Amino acid sequence: MPHTNNLTHFLCGPLTASSCSVFSVLVTLFEHSPALQDLYVNAMMFVDPFPPHTKDSHELNLNHKRPIMLSLRAVCLLLIFTVSNTLSGVHAKFVDLLIRSCPSIVDLRLLFVRNVDPYPQFLLQGNWPNLARLTLEGQGFYSEGLSKAQKSLIMRNFLSRHSTLRCLSFLGTNLIFKDSIAECSLLNMQSFCLRHHVTTFAATLPVTAAANIRHLWVEVTSTCLLARRLMTRLQSRVLSEPSGSAVSLTTLLDTLSISVEGISMDSKKAGTILSPR
């Protein structure tokens, strides 16, 4: 990519490629595109069948100094790994690239699914001072064998480092737990999306965070009605109904504040983002 000095947007996918090839493209892109602002990669990836000494496989072990992408503001990596038992270290390479080379990220979405090896350094070491929007989905964010309390502390520390967050979304299971959000840690957060965490919602949002929420996307259960009553500035809701939910529409409407301008309900859990009028 010798002629991409002025490249500001790179959108790639959906595609099917080897993990080595995708990683190599990112490294090369970073080396030759200092003005890059927006990166989107959606890939179904398989592990290269090359022996470790080959050039393609060696790309995953590059230790040379990589350029710092000061202009890169938005990153979306949607990486689905095919079935394999040789994925050790692959996911961590992509995460390390974000941590070491992308300090200016404002909008970050990360999805790793299928046979995901843990890459705990994302939560333990990740630090983006300007991060305003974060969407996490998939597995691997925690080391194996940790208790819920240990995972909660790790997430708590990560979120406390990112007090600039305005939009926070967890779109998978076992990502956030009770007390993962510290009191007074996310005072700027206005949008909150929590899917597949029905039992933890009420214990997730502290009062200080709930009071500032304008836009909410969550599953309807009786355990989270109290938390909703704390959202006095709520403007829009996207609600999905989990199987077995016994919450009536009347009960739900009783929890709404007068500031609400729009409601979208979906009994099939699909849900669509609803914007205020």
Instruction: Return the HEC string of the chain.
Output: CCCCCCCCEEEEEEEEEEHHHHHHHHHHHHHHCCCCCEEEEEEEEECCCCCCCCHHHHHHHCCCCCCCCCCCCEEEEEEEECCCCCCCCHHHHHHHHHHHHCCCCCEEEEEEECCCCCCCHHHHHCCCCCCCEEEEEECCCCCCCCCHHHHHHHHHHHHHCCCCCCEEEECCCCCCCCCCCCCCCCCCCCEEEECCCHHHHHHHCCHHHHCCCCEEEEECCHHHHHHHHCCCCCCEEEEECCCCCCCCHHHHHHCCCCCCCEEEEECCCCCCCCCCC
Give the end of a domain, one of 72, 101, 117.
Answer: 117
Q: Are residues 93 and 174 in the same domain?
A: no
Identify the domain containing residue 253 by its residue range.
Answer: 146-277
Total number of domains constituting the chain: 2
- The angle subtended at Cα 194 by Cα 189 and Cα 198, nearest 5°, is 135
Q: Is the confidence at residue 241, as pLDDT, over 90?
A: no
Distance, in Å, from the CA atom of 276 to the CA atom of 262, rounded to the nearest integer, reads 6
**What does the radius of gyration of the chain's CA atoms come to, in whole angstroms?**
20
| Of 81 and 254, more confident | 81
Q: Are residues 165 and 261 in the same domain?
A: yes
Summarised one tens digit per residue, pLDDT across range 114-144 is: 666 788 999 999 999 999 999 999 888 998 8
Q: Are residues 82 and 188 in the same domain?
A: no
Give the end of a domain, one of 68, 99, 117.
Answer: 117
| Residue 127, in any domain of the structure | no
Q: Are residues 230 and 113 in the same domain?
A: no
pTM to 2 decimal places = 0.82
Q: Are residues 162 and 253 in the same domain?
A: yes
252: confidence class by pLDDT, cuts 50, 70, 90: low
Q: Are residues 11 and 94 in the same domain?
A: yes
Give the end of a domain, one of 63, 96, 117.
Answer: 117
| Residue 110, in any domain of the structure | yes
Q: Are residues 260 and 159 in the same domain?
A: yes
| Residue 133, in any domain of the structure | no
77: confidence class by pLDDT, cuts 50, 70, 90: very high
| Residue 268, in any domain of the structure | yes
Q: Are residues 154 and 266 in the same domain?
A: yes
Q: Are residues 35 and 78 in the same domain?
A: yes
Q: Are residues 253 and 166 in the same domain?
A: yes
Q: Are residues 164 and 273 in the same domain?
A: yes
Q: Give strand pairing partners of 240.
A: 219, 266
| Residue 53 confidence (pLDDT) | 47
